[in-house]
Structure 1
Amino acid sequence: MYTALLPIVLFLTLVLQTASRPIVYQCVPVETSVDYFDPRPNGGAMLDNAGDGYGEPLNVIVSGMSSPEVLTEDGIVNFARAIGFSEECFGLHAGAPQTANLGDGNGWVNQTIELRQDYDNAGVGTCLETLIGGNHFRVWKQNGSLADSGALFLAVSKEEPLLEHHTIIPDGYNIGRDLLVQNAVGQTSYNGVTYSTVARNITGLLAPGAVGVNHNISTDGIVTLLTVTIL
């Protein structure tokens, strides 16, 4: 009789030992199955809020189908360095952050980070951009419960020198976008990470023209989708 009960006793002992062990959850980036969600149906916008009643176009999207590591803050910084951008000069930022509503349920949130052209020097090159102007972009992540694509929405523009108060150059939104895309497409690398990037232009997300656009600078309405894969 006792011999027959032995397997049951061993099974219950194993169950109790397993239940007493702490459960360890490992947080890893997860690849999504969509490029992005259109922010507008859920009350979002393709212009950010520059704080003066106008906005700057979200004219580049890093697809949610990119390698998950790219879609983190550290990941976009490393990718940015691979295509000629870096963090601001000594980490200093003048002016208030801009906000964007990506229609994901998070409402209007501050930019995650702002990155500037580094003139081929990731250490101090952005200090030169601060003085003489150049390309730069702001980043927001679409990760709210209503639209969790994981995509990064970028507001890209080329700006004037410091003496011109960093206003956007004529046609600076289109020019800034095109310069960033030109640097990104193909194979790039930084800090031992190699990227392969493909681009696709999208119309219908961003209205062409200058209505509501900061500095009254017209745009062509094109948003470029980048899919970035780590090789």
Structure 2
Amino acid sequence: MDGRGGVAYYNPTAGGGSMLIDAGDGYGEPMNVIISGLSSPHVLTLHGAIDFARAIGFSKECFGLHLGGYMSADLGDGNGWVNQTIELRQDYAIGGTCLESLIGGNHFRIFVQNGTVADSGALFLAVSREEPITENHDVVPDGYDIGRWCQQRLAKHGLMGSNIIPLPKNVTGLLAPGADGINHDIAQDGIVTLLTVTIV
């Protein structure tokens, strides 16, 4: 998961990829947050991405067990469709990510743009808020935008006083707004939050 190409990211569609991950049955979920390839190198490693996630209130899945299927993405970098690197869930103060698995909350899947065609090193995140296990962890209404907004808010305000400085910026033009082709037929606003995360 390491490597920097000197750019924030490459548009996956320019290399024949997609900004939607494969959720099955011909539907996708938006990659609505990008951790820039211009971030500190440690952040772009698996360990560093987990450190950053923990700093904003996320962690590994309950007991390290992944429930549900792995989803894949084509980031237009020459690697084709590749399974998620890791999935991270909201870490509640009591019950941790096990509670998120039960009652729902925010979670995200990480995909790395590191192929030979477009090696930015950027991390593409598919972020959403999901229902509890009794609702099969379906995405809540407006859950893609809620998840992205939560991620941006936590990154901007949850790290005050730490040595991690996230610089969020909203980007349009990568995702088409609306529900066309989107899993659960949930519309999203087409905004992608670009985070440049610097460790000082």
TM range (shorter): over 0.9
In the TM superposition, residue 51 of structure 1 has moved relative to its aligned partner by 1.8
Matched letter for residue 68 of structure 2: G
* 1:31–1:67 CA contact under 8 A, matched in 2: no
Match of 1:148 among 108, 115, 119: 119
Residue 79, structure 1, aligned to residue 52, structure 2: yes
In the TM superposition, residue 195 of structure 1 has moved relative to its aligned partner by 0.6
Aligned to 1:227: 196
Aligned to 1:113: 86
Aligned to 1:171: 142
Assess, with a 3 A threshold, how the Cα gap between structure 1 residues 99 and 169 changes in structure 2: closer, same or farther: same
Matched letter for residue 126 of structure 2: A
User: Which consecutive unaligned segments of at least 5 residues does structure 1 have?
Assistant: 1-28
* 1:137–1:155 CA contact under 8 A, matched in 2: yes
For CA contacts below 8 A with separation 6 or more, give which structure has more relative contact order.
2
Q: Aligned equivalents of 1:105 and 1:113: distance in 2?
A: 20
User: Secondary structure of 1:157's match?
Assistant: strand
Match of 1:195 among 164, 174, 178: 164
* 1:157–1:173 CA contact under 8 A, matched in 2: yes
In the TM superposition, residue 186 of structure 1 has moved relative to its aligned partner by 4.8
Matched letter for residue 197 of structure 1: P
Matched letter for residue 153 of structure 2: Q
Higher strand proportion, which one?
2
Residue 37, structure 1, aligned to residue 10, structure 2: yes
Q: Aligned equivalents of 2:188 and 2:138: distance in 1?
A: 16
Q: Aligned equivalents of 1:53 and 1:94: distance in 2?
A: 21
In the TM superposition, residue 137 of structure 1 has moved relative to its aligned partner by 0.1
Residue 216, structure 1, aligned to residue 185, structure 2: yes
User: Secondary structure of 1:208's match?
Assistant: coil
User: Secondary structure of 1:96's match?
Assistant: coil
In the TM superposition, residue 42 of structure 1 has moved relative to its aligned partner by 1.2
Aligned to 1:12: none
1:150-174 CA distance string (max 9 Å, x none): 0000000000001011000000000
Bigger radius of gyration among the two: 1
Matched letter for residue 100 of structure 1: A
Residue 66, structure 1, aligned to residue 32, structure 2: no
Matched letter for residue 144 of structure 1: G
In the TM superposition, residue 41 of structure 1 has moved relative to its aligned partner by 1.5
How many equivalent pairs are there? 199
User: Secondary structure of 2:190's match?
Assistant: coil
In the TM superposition, residue 66 of structure 1 has moved relative to its aligned partner by 0.1
Matched letter for residue 202 of structure 1: V
* 2:4–2:122 CA contact under 8 A, matched in 1: no
Match of 2:23 among 40, 50, 58: 50
Identity percentage over the alignment?
63
User: Secondary structure of 1:200's match?
Assistant: strand
Matched letter for residue 163 of structure 1: T
1:113-170 CA distance string (max 9 Å, x none): 000000136xx50000001000000000000000000000000000000101100000
